[in-house]
Structures are given as C-alpha cells and as structure tokens.
Amino acid sequence: MRETLPTKKRKIINSAIELLLDRPEGLRYSELKKKINEQYFEIGNSTIGSTIVNLEQETKGVVIKVDKGLFKHSRYAENQNTVTEGSNFLPISETIEKIREENFYSSFADWLTDDIEECTHAIPLGGSRFRDKWGTPDVIGIRESRRSAVIQFPIEIVSAEIKVDTKDLITAFGQASAYKLFCHKSYIVIPSQSDKADITRLDGLCRISGIGLVLFDSKNPETPNFEIRVRANKHEPDMFYVDKYIKIIEEDLFPRNQKRR
C-alpha cells in the first residue's frame, strides 16, 4: 500500500527530533536533510526539504530554528551552555576552565605576522596596560613598509581581543569595537567550539562593522589552529587616541626606534 503524505511527513518529523536530541549544538538545514534522506531515501528530497523548512510549526516548538538555517531541539535552544542529564555533551566553559586566555597571546601574535602577514611586528599585551575602563587589547601589532619596498606606506596598527569562554562573545565584540578608536584594524578571536548560531551572528556583525573574526581551538594552546573567518577592514582611527595609547607601549611596539621623537 502506498504511503500517504501525512505518513511521510511524520517519519521526517520524528527523525528530525531524534537527530536533534543527539546534537545539542544543532544541525544546519543541509546536514539535517542529508541525514534524513539517508534514512528515508524513498521519500524524496523535495518532501524532506519542505517538511524541514516548516519543522518549527509542524512540531509546535519542539524543534526551534535558532538562526538562519540552524535547527535545535527546544531542550537545548534556551540555554545553549546547559546540558540535560545523561548527555555526553559538556559545556565548553567547563572543558576550558583551566586554560587561560594568556596561553594564546604569543601564538596569535606570531600568527598575525607569519601566517596572514597582517603585521610586521606584534606583541602580547592584555592586562590593564592602558589603565582605563575601555580595556586593553590582548595582542597589538603594527604593519609598516619594509626598507626595501618601492612604495612606502603609513604605519597601520592592528589589535585583537581573544576569548576562551564562549559566554564572553558579546563582550569581545564590544571591546574590539572600542579598539577601532585607536587601531586601523581590529580582530576578535573566539573558540571554534562556540555555538554555531553565535558564530553566524558574529560573522554578520563583523562584516557590517569591519571587525575581523578568527576561530581557534580553545582547548589546545599548543596547536590552536587559528582560522580566519572574516578579514578586518582598514579604517582611519582617531589620531588623538592613537597617540594617547601607543605612547604607553611605544618601547615595546617599536623596539628598533625607542627614541623616535
């Protein structure tokens, strides 16, 4: 006897709920469609696809679309760092509790200069070197013309804010925005283990604001695998603040020209 459409849809819905229960971080539309198609290839892609699009309505909120193309079971959607009993998915903030942001400063400074050549010289900073409530970048660097370059260009200042705790992503964006006041380019560096919806949202915000976005393995200080997601756009900072802040770290940032005045 040939299956009716309601029966097919019920299979798709039940399969989606089961798959999302096993994936607290959620599944994207294409991933969910592929997995359901592997289970029920005879149903057909168009029926599977149209059912997934309407999962939130069809399941009366059991499945929630938390971002563009990203679906989660309602059990995980409200508190994305909380895990239900019996799950083997640990909150990221727990797994990185003993790893400090400072562990990544030097390696990111090297990555800025050697891997993506965004800087010719970069240093770890952090702490409260700038001594004000607007914060201090974790890493700051400069990009200047090499002496052999045919065309010499003005010095550019690049800053970065690094976070290992996925609960601090909004704070990181705010700090990176503040650094644009005295830097030509500003980056936020966040765990690749962050919630997919948060990464997608930050990706959009960074593209709008011109801030760079870098993902990294926050559990592995030895091999963080920095990966650029959005490259920072250059803009002109306020030279009053450039002079105010760079003067504080001048000897560290310009080691070859300690007496430049």
Structural domains in the chain, CATH included, are 5-88 (1.10.10), 101-253 (no CATH)
Give percent above pLDDT 70 in the chain.
Answer: 86
237 versus 59: which is more confidently predicted? Answer: 237
Mean pLDDT score, 200-229? 94
pTM (predicted TM-score): 0.67
pLDDT at 98: 58
| Amino acid, single-letter form, for residue 241 | Y
The pLDDT value recorded for residue 258 is 45
Q: Is 170 in contact with 197 (CB distance < 8 Å)?
A: no
For the cut 60, the answer to whether the pLDDT of residue 95 exceeds it is no
- Cβ–Cβ contacts within 10 Å for residue 122, how many? 25
Candidate from 71-85, 207-221, 222-236, 247-261 with smallest mean pLDDT = 71-85
Per residue in 163-188, pLDDT (tens digit) is: 999 888 999 999 999 999 999 999 99
CA distances from 142 to 1, 23, 45, 212, 217 (A): 72, 42, 52, 16, 25
In this model, does residue 123 exceed pLDDT 80?
A: yes
User: What is the average per-residue pLDDT within 99-106?
Assistant: 90
* Mean pLDDT estimate for the chain: 84
Number of other CB atoms surrounding residue 182 within 10 Å: 23
- pLDDT over threshold 50, residue 18: yes
Higher pLDDT, 251 or 89: 251
Rounded mean pLDDT, 49-53: 86
Between 14 and 131, the higher pLDDT residue: 14
